[in-house]
Structure formats: structure tokens, C-alpha cells
């Protein structure tokens, strides 16, 4: 039976759901026994809720939904091959959470919401974001946001997601988010670009940036 890969953690959380187990001797791979069940909104939300809980207790590198390994032996090999890299990333996350700044075109809504189902509209919105939010803009926004907000936050620019991610102390994430929303960043954006904050999140974007998101 294959394993569904959930996350890499620096220690095993005290209370894991019955279907989740840890493999390795540190760092650990959290897995569930793979199933053929069709992904659903409920399953995705349950995975996210699990990652949120685990991230409250440990340093956690979320794994992209849908990743599988053939079994425990493969999981141990996967860990062993990346041990140093995983340890560095886990230490770097420490007790911090991700807060994201999403950019999008205010013009993208023209046509985006017309026709098709929600999936088609989602794709059109994502494509429109990618078309108008370039790397130079994201870099400028990241610099501005960093200068106006907590200076010691780690920052990652996610070009494909048209967002800038900040890693902030877990206990201060809500405060950071509140201050970020009040920082007036919108006034620094070019015409036609809007900003939106979200979070706190497990360190999804940092995990992809530091360990390769397969992009």
C-alpha cells in the first residue's frame, strides 16, 4: 500500500489523528496509508486543518497534496537523501507562521467571472494574475512591505502564485497581519493592481521555495 505524504516535522506531535503516523528518527515524515479515495473539498480542508495543528506544535514543512511514496522503505530513503536540507529548513522555520500578500489585477475580473463553472473561473483568474503581476513588481512590493513591517521577517517572492510570503513569529502572526493591513501598502501599487493579505498559514510557500516545489 502506498503512503500519502503529509509533512516533514522536527519532532512527532503528541496527538496525531489515528490515521497519521510518523516515519524516521528525526526529522520525521508524517504519512497516512494511501487510499484511492477521490480528493474532495472536505479531504483538502481536513489536510489543511491537520497541518495547522501540527504547525502549532512543531516546525513543519507541509508537503504538497497528492504526493505519495511506495512504502516505509521509500519514505526512509527519501528522508535520508534530504536529511541535511530538511534539518536546515526545519530549523529556519522555527516557531514561525506564514503570512501572504497576494497581488492581482483589478481588471482581471472583466471576463473572469463570466461563463463556465467555478473551476473555469478559477483558472481564468489565476491566468490573469500571472499575466499582469511580474517579478519586478513582486520584488518592489516585497521591499516596500519589508521596510514598513517587521524587519526581521523572512520573505519569499512566489512569482507563479503572484504573492509575497512572510515568515513571522507564530504568536505575532495575527498582530503582523493586522499591522500589514493597516500599513497602506495599496497606495504604493501601480494602477490596476490590488493587494490582499491572508494567513496565518503553515509554511507552505517557504517549504516549496527552500525544498523545491517541483515547479
Partner 1 sequence: MSDARTVAGNIDLLGPEQSLADVIDHLLNRGVCVSGAITISVAGIDLMYLGVDLVFASVATLRAREVA
Binding site for partner 1 (CB under 8 A): 5, 8, 38-42, 44-45, 47-49, 52, 61-69, 78, 104, 109, 112-113, 117-123, 125-127, 130-131, 158, 160-161, 196-199, 201, 204-205, 207-208, 211-215
DSSP state of 213: -
- 127 vs 112: CA distance, rounded Å: 10
Q: Least CB distance from residue 213 to partner 1, whole Å?
A: 5
Q: Least CB distance from residue 135 to partner 1, whole Å?
A: 12
Other Cβ atoms less than 10 A from the Cβ of 96: the count is: 22
Nearer Cβ to partner 1 (37/151) = 37
Nearer Cβ to partner 1 (29/151) = 29
Q: Least CB distance from residue 212 to partner 1, whole Å?
A: 6
Judge whether 66 and 3 are in contact, CB under 8 Å.
Answer: no
Provide the angle, in degrees to the nearest 10, between the axes of the packed helices 83-93 and 204-211. 150
Nearer Cβ to partner 1 (41/151) = 41
- Give Cα separations from 50 to 3, 19, 53, 132, 215 (angstroms): 16, 11, 5, 34, 24
Q: Least CB distance from residue 45 to partner 1, whole Å?
A: 6
Amino acid at each position: 500500500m502506498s503512503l500519502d505524504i503529509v509533512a516533514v516535522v522536527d519532532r512527532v506531535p503528541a496527538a496525531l489523528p489515528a490515521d497519521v503516523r510518523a516515519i524516521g528518527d528525526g526529522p520525521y515524515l508524517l504519512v497516512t496509508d494511501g487510499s484511492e479515495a477521490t480528493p474532495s473539498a472536505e479531504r483538502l480542508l481536513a489536510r489543511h486543518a491537520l497541518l495547522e495543528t501540527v504547525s502549532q506544535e512543531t516546525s513543519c514543512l507541509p508537503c504538497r497534496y497528492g504526493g505519495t511514496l511506495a512504502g516505509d522503505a521509500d519514505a526512509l530513503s527519501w528522508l535520508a537523501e534530504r536529511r541535511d536540507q530538511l534539518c536546515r529548513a526545519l530549523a529556519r522555520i522555527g516557531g514561525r507562521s506564514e503570512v501572504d500578500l497576494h497581488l492581482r489585477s483589478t481588471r482581471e475580473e472583466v471576463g473572469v467571472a463570466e461563463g463556465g463553472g467555478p473551476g473555469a473561473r478559477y483558472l481564468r483568474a489565476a491566468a490573469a494574475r500571472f499575466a499582469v503581476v511580474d517579478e519586478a513588481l513582486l520584488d518592489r512590493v516585497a521591499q516596500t512591505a519589508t521596510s514598513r513591517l517587521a524587519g526581521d521577517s523572512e520573505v519569499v517572492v512566489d512569482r507563479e502564485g503572484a504573492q509575497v510570503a512572510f515568515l513571522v513569529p507564530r504568536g505575532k502572526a495575527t498582530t503582523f497581519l493586522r499591522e500589514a493591513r493597516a500599513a497602506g501598502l495599496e497606495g504604493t501599487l501601480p494602477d490596476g493592481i490590488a493587494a490582499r493579505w491572508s494567513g496565518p498559514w503553515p509554511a507552505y510557500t517557504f517549504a516549496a521555495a527552500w525544498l523545491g516545489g517541483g515547479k
